[in-house]
Structure 1
Amino acid sequence: MAHDHSHSHVDENQSDKQLAVAVIINVLLTVTQVIGGIFSGSLSLIADALHNLSDAGAIFIALIARKIGNKPADVTHHFGYKRAEILATLFNSTTLIIIGLYLIFEAISSYLNPQPINGWIVVWVAAIALVIDLATAYLTYRAGANHSINIKAAFIHNISDAMASIVVIIAGTLIILYQWYIVDLIATVLISVYVIYHGILLLKQSGKILMQAAPNNIDTHAISHAISNEFNIESVVSIKLWQLDDKENYCELVISTQQTIDLPAVKGFLHDNFNVENCIIETRPIANKSAA
């Protein structure tokens, strides 16, 4: 039976507009930072501009993926297109890791080959970037970061870039006051580790879904025990669980029993107690154990 999945914790039309605005302001910010980096001589500012450009890309990909994911099932995609968002998460988490590694490389290169830097330009441009980063993070959070790992990946892009902007402001201030270039290296490495860590977490989560691994929050032994007790099932032969996306769980259940089982009731029980959206159930008479 088809179910209506239009229920949502966020107004998607409104949040799509918020995401579109976030893309536009991040592109404008990237241009501003590149210009500021060229005039100030700050490589870290240009590196931060690259990070902002990746933010715009991540949000745009998340927006397109959600549009695709909302398409209904058809004759070729029987489960619909919801995994488009998981593919987007996989891509965005991979870019988080690559950007984190690049920023570490860039910080080390800047330290080994120091160049004169205009600290005031760095501070002012980074301050503008921070305001925009926080505004963009707010927009992506409101767009559903708590309810979608696809949007969450874009949100983490924004948070990490806001942290990077803070670091650039601090580094620029210390350059103005003390010419302490080492601070830029240390702070950039710390932020990069943070970015890489969250990128790996999202990569693992999306990878598990695409590999059809069992959901972390569902215990197959608990399901077997619960339905055996509830419906007097003699034997649960096998349970296979997988996720369609980061919200919907599906299962394939094989049971052996000598009595007639109310299969819709079993499905309803699994839905209400274990958040299983739908389950394919096969029943086997115990007398047929020796059958091939």
Structure 2
Amino acid sequence: MPHDHAHMEPKEGDRRVAIAIWANGLLTVAQVVGGILSGSLALIADAIHNFSDMASLVIAFGARKIARRPADAKMTFGYGRVEIVAALINYTSLIIIGLYLVYEGAMRFANPVPIEGWTVVILGGVALFIDTLTALLTYSMQKGSVNIRALFLHNLSDALASVAVIVGGVLLLLYDVRWVDPAITIGIAAYILWLAFTEIGGPIRTLMLGSPPDMDTDAVIAAIEDIDGVEELHHAHFWQMQEHQAALDTHVVIEDARWDDLERIKEDIKTRLEEAFDISHSTLEFERARDKHEE
């Protein structure tokens, strides 16, 4: 189906991602130092998550640059799919980080340590500000890009994790309940894992040449078979060349009596594919009805 995407100049998008990279880099250093000094595993967990965000931002920044390169002899379809690969890398990193944080949280339950609550609260507040800023920078961009959506969800989860860290720091100050810190760490990890497993299917589907998820392929086939002169379609393969560019390869069986109208029928098919279903790339192999493939 036709898409409606938020439009932004590439340079403006790159500038926003660059700001987010620097902000998350500085925040990661501050949280690691603060986590070590305060003894807070939750703060270090949030720092690791922020570091993964910075790495994800770097990957996404590079992918955006590469994706804009024109097609060449080695990449005849162009470089747009690199953003799908970047999204898959980012979601995979989230899963690895989530599993690591579950392990560390469980170890801290077994061996609790003293924690400096004020350091946790202050750095948690700084982290919340940076995470919210980064999420706002990428919000309008994520609606039309799976690559940027992965970044946005990274930072949204960071913002929620920072809230949890602040709550944990307050509870430590008020009640000195040390089990709250590893409990929050495991809670952050659980949310990260849920987020990653929920979103990773989209990039995998695209890279596995799955049909576009929002497309009714039966409706496309029926619409083409309804064109005057078309008897049937078979060997129909739907896939995505890039995130928002659907493609169709298919065999089209033409009525014997209409073979001389082949060029007009082909034009009608391509027009309907693009106007009704936003399929701008199609490869059509035509067969006479009496010679159609039966296998």
Instruction: Give the TM bin, normalised by the shorter chain.
Output: over 0.9
User: Aligned residue for 1:166?
Assistant: 163
Q: Secondary structure at the match of 1:231?
A: coil
Q: Secondary structure at the match of 1:115?
A: coil
User: Aligned residue for 2:276?
Assistant: 273
CA distance in 2, matches of 1:212, 1:282: 20
User: Aligned residue for 1:152?
Assistant: 149
Structure 1: state its 5+ residue gaps: 1-6
User: Which string of whole-angstrom CA distances, capped at 9 and with x for unpartnered residues, describes residues 70-118 of structure 1?
Assistant: 1111111110001110110110000011111112112212221111111
2:271 matches 1:283 = no
Contact 2:118 2:169 in 1 (8 A): yes
Q: 4+ residue runs of structure 1 moved beyond 6 angstroms?
A: none
Q: One-letter code of the match for 1:46?
A: I
Q: How big is the shift at 1:249? A: 0.5
CA distance in 2, matches of 1:9, 1:272: 21
CA distance in 2, matches of 1:67, 1:93: 20
Q: How big is the shift at 1:62? A: 0.7
Q: Secondary structure at the match of 1:283?
A: strand
2:19 matches 1:21 = yes
User: Which string of whole-angstrom CA distances, capped at 9 and with x for unpartnered residues, describes residues 179-209 of structure 1?
Assistant: 1223333333333222112212332211111
Question: Considering only aligned residues, what root-mean-square deviation do their CA atoms show, in Å?
Answer: 1.7
Q: Secondary structure at the match of 1:272?
A: helix
Aligned pairs (5 A) from 1:123-272: 123-142=121-140, 144-258=141-255, 259=258, 260-261=261-262, 262=264, 263-272=266-275
Q: One-letter code of the match for 2:80?
A: K
CA distance in 2, matches of 1:184, 1:34: 15
2:97 matches 1:94 = no
CA distance in 2, matches of 1:42, 1:189: 13
Q: How big is the shift at 1:8? A: 6.3
Moved more, 144-153 or 225-234: 225-234
Contact 1:23 1:56 in 2 (8 A): yes
Q: How big is the shift at 1:45? A: 1.1
Contact 1:26 1:55 in 2 (8 A): yes
Q: Secondary structure at the match of 1:86?
A: helix
Q: One-letter code of the match for 1:249?
A: A
Contact 2:206 2:243 in 1 (8 A): yes
**TM-score, reference length from structure 1:** 0.93
Aligned pairs (5 A) from 1:116-127: 116-127=114-125
Change (3 A) 1:74 1:213: same
Percent sequence identity over aligned pairs: 39
Moved more, 64-73 or 32-41: 32-41
Q: How big is the shift at 1:290? A: 6.9
Contact 1:90 1:202 in 2 (8 A): no
Contact 1:149 1:202 in 2 (8 A): no
Q: How big is the shift at 1:60? A: 1.0
Change (3 A) 1:175 1:8: closer
Match of 1:77 among 66, 75, 78: 75
User: Aligned residue for 1:4?
Assistant: none
Q: One-letter code of the match for 1:67?
A: K
2:47 matches 1:44 = no
Q: Secondary structure at the match of 1:234?
A: strand
Change (3 A) 1:239 1:147: same
Moved more, 32-41 or 13-22: 32-41
Alignment length (residue pairs): 285
Structure 2: state its 5+ residue gaps: none
Q: How big is the shift at 1:14? A: 0.4
CA distance in 2, matches of 1:188, 1:236: 54
